């Protein structure tokens, strides 16, 4: 579309007002589910929480060009907004965190934050960081062999970018020009370890050149910039031109997890400043400046999201608990020799994860 002074930025990218309000709503919903689950964790209903707060702009925007139920996603533990943009519902997410019997991710067997769901083409992740990057490349390889029109996307942190399997995965994808999009969500920390102690040279995107693919750095709080990068990567993959690497500079608004306290290693002034970088008000301000978001629409969206999270929590909590006799099923291919019936664990006094 030809640019005029009044053309909103999103229209130049082929997005309608409805699209960008949908993106904004998806960010609000992911944040509201995340916040609700912190409350449930503090109330003792959820064992552990690892948050996507601060990553939502990059996640919604990079997942937006992906085609649900056709493309595939291999996420990481902060991918709440990516997983929801790609099809998971608020109820699915809360049900999984409550480890209920009919949880779509694992039937109550996975750790919280391990997003997944067969109906959504979202592969459940393994806890060792970086393993999901290999899974995405494998999916892309399978699609290429079968001649299927499939793009695989995977997300990971900048600390994880230094794991051996991430280098192997990107190199292999580059050599074979596989249809895969690597999204590195760089929040500047790997738990308590800052960027300059993990990433030699300071840039993950720059590594793309070494793997034979474009490496683009984007401001992860700039939703439309992230969308543009992902859309280009998706089209490139579909044209058979191979993989892309996107490094989205995001902020981690919470501690690493519910078992961490970032005040132990982050300056209070730095933590305070994070609020200004929150992608939700940033995107709202942009949409307001262009006249797409009004007070009335904002109020409606927030009311809808609140009702959706309340309903989802109620329905998830009412779901049945898993049956202890079935705990080993669908974990191993074969029954565990002598495995017998699992013994229920007693809570450990003062224990943590
Ligand atoms: C192979 C492996 N090593 C260590 C851990 C423990 N661990 C979990 S998350 C994490 C930090 C990863 O940081 P980053 O990749 O930057 O992601 P972020 O949590 O900042 O989003 C570590 C070290 C793990 N899960 N797997
Ligand atoms: Mg990090």
Per-residue pLDDT at 335: 72
Q: Which residues contact 174 (CB under 8 A, 6 or more apart)?
A: 211, 212, 213, 242, 243
The ligand minimizing its distance to the Cα of 80 is 1
The answer to whether the beta carbons of residues 23 and 293 sit under 8 Å apart is: no
36-50, 89-103, 268-282, 319-333: least confidently modelled range: 319-333
Tokens representing 329?
Answer: 């099923």
Query: How far does residue 133's CA lie from ligand 1's centre (Å)?
Result: 13
Separation of CA 187 and ligand 2 centre (Å): 5
189 Cα to the center of ligand 1, angstroms: 9
| Closest residue by Cα to residue 54 from 262, 227, 306, 253 | 253
Task: Please state the domain extents for the chain.
Answer: 9-257+265-316
- The confidence band for 351, taking pLDDT boundaries of 50, 70 and 90, is low
User: Ligand 1, atom 11: nearest CA belongs to which residue?
Assistant: 190
Tens of pLDDT, residues 164-182: 999 999 999 999 999 999 9
Q: Above 60 in pLDDT, residue 293?
A: yes
Nearest in space to 224 (alpha carbons), one of 7, 64, 5: 64
Residue among 128, 189, 190, 197 to mutate when testing ligand 1 (max atoms within 8 A of CB): 190
Q: Is the predicted pLDDT of residue 349 greater than 80, yes or no?
A: no
Alpha carbon separation from 214 to 178, 180, 240 (Å, rounded)? 13, 12, 14
Atom of ligand 1 nearest to the CA of 127: 25
CB–CB of 54/187 below 8 Å? Answer: yes
Report d(CA 141, CA 155) in Å as an integer.
17
Digit-coded pLDDT (tens) for 80-110: 999 999 999 999 999 999 999 999 999 999 9
**What are the tens digits of pLDDT across the range 114-123?**
999 999 999 9
Ligand nearest to the CA of 187: 2
Q: What pLDDT is attached to residue 100?
A: 97
**With 60 as the cut, is the pLDDT of residue 191 above it?**
yes
Pocket of ligand 1 (CB under 6 A): 78, 127-129, 156-160, 187, 189-191, 252, 256
Classify the C-alpha dihedral 20-23-25-28 as positive or negative. negative
Separation of CA 240 and ligand 2 centre (Å): 31
In this predicted structure, what is the pLDDT of residue 328? 81
pTM of the model: 0.94
Distance (Å) from CA 256 to ligand 1 centroid: 9
CATH of domain 9-257+265-316: 3.40.50.970
Per-residue pLDDT of 320-348, as tens digits, reads 999 888 888 888 777 777 666 666 667 66
pLDDT tens, position by position, 140-164: 999 999 999 999 999 999 999 999 9
How far, in Å, from the CA of 89 to the mean position of ligand 2?
25
Which pLDDT value is given to residue 5? 63
Nearest atom within ligand 1 for CA of residue 129: 26
Please give the average per-residue pLDDT across 2-19, as a whole number.
86
Q: Which of 159, 197, 252 to mutate to test the pocket of ligand 1 (most atoms within 8 A of CB)?
A: 159
pLDDT in tens, 214-258: 999 999 999 999 999 999 999 999 999 999 999 999 999 999 999
Output the pLDDT for position 334: 77
In three-state form (DSSP H/G/I as H, E/B as E, the rest C), the secondary structure along the chain is CCCCCCCCHHHHCCCCHHHHHHHHHHHHHHHHHHHHHHHHHHCCCCCCCCCCCCCHHHHHHHHCCCCCCCCEEECCCCCHHHHHHCCCCHHHHHHHHCCCCCCCCCCCCCCCCCCCEHHHCECCCCCCCCHHHHHHHHHHHHHHHHCCCCCEEEEEECCHHHCHHHHHHHHHHHHCCCCEEEEEEECCEECCEEHHHCCCCCCCHHHHHHHCCCEEEEECCCHHHHHHHHHHHHHHHHCCCCCEEEEEECCCCCCCCCCCCHHHCCCHHHHHHHHHHCHHHHHHHHHHHCCCCCHHHHHHHHHHHHHHHHHHHHHHHHCCCCCHHHCCCCCCCCCCCCCCCCCCCCCCCCCCC
Q: Is the distance from CB of 187 to CB of 55 less than 8 angstroms?
A: yes
Question: What residue's CA is closest to ligand 1, atom 19?
Answer: 190
Across all residues in the chain, what is the average pLDDT?
A: 94
> What pLDDT, on a 0 to 100 scale, did the predictor assign at position 353?
44
pLDDT at residue 65 above 80?
A: yes
Is 122 exposed, middle or buried (CB count within 10 Å of its CB: 0-12, 13-18, 19+)? buried
Residue whose CA is at the smallest distance from ligand 1 atom 21:
157
Please tell me the distance between residue 160's alpha carbon and the centre of ligand 1 in angstroms.
Answer: 6
Per-residue pLDDT at 332: 78
């Amino acid at each position: 579309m030809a640019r005029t002074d009044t053309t909103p930025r999103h229209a130049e990218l082929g997005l309608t007002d409805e699209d960008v309000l949908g993106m904004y709503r998806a960010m609000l919903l992911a944040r509201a589910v995340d916040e609700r689950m912190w409350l449930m964790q503090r109330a003792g209903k959820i064992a552990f929480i690892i948050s996507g707060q601060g990553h939502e702009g990059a996640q919604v925007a990079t997942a937006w060009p992906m085609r649900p139920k056709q493309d595939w996603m291999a996420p990481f533990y902060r991918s709440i907004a990516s997983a929801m943009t790609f099809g998971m519902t608020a109820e699915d997410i809360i049900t999984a965190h409550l480890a209920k019997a009919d949880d779509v991710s694992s039937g109550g067997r996975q750790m919280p934050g391990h997003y997944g769901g067969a109906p959504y083409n979202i592969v459940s992740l393994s806890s060792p960081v970086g393993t999901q990057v290999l899974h995405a490349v494998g999916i892309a390889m399978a699609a290429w062999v079968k001649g299927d029109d499939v793009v695989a996307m995977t997300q990971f942190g900048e600390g994880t970018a230094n794991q051996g399997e991430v280098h192997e995965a990107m190199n292999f994808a580059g050599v074979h020009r596989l249809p895969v999009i690597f999204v590195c969500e760089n929040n500047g920390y790997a738990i308590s370890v800052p960027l300059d102690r993990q990433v030699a040279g300071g840039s993950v995107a720059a590594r793309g050149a070494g793997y034979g693919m474009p490496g683009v750095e984007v401001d992860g709080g700039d939703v439309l910039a992230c969308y543009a990068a992902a859309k280009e990567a998706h089209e490139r993959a579909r044209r058979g031109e191979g993989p892309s690497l996107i490094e989205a500079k995001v902020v981690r608004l919470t501690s690493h997890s519910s078992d961490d306290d970032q005040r132990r290693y982050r300056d209070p002034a730095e933590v305070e400043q994070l609020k200004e970088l929150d992608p939700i008000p940033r995107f709202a301000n942009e949409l307001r400046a262009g006249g797409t978001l009004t007070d009335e629409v904002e109020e409606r969206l927030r009311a809808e999201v609140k009702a959706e999270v309340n309903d989802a929590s109620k329905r998830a909590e009412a779901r049945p608990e898993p049956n202890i006799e079935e705990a080993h099923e669908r974990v191993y291919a074969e029954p565990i020799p002598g495995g017998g019936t699992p013994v229920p664990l007693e809570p450990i006094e003062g224990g943590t994860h």
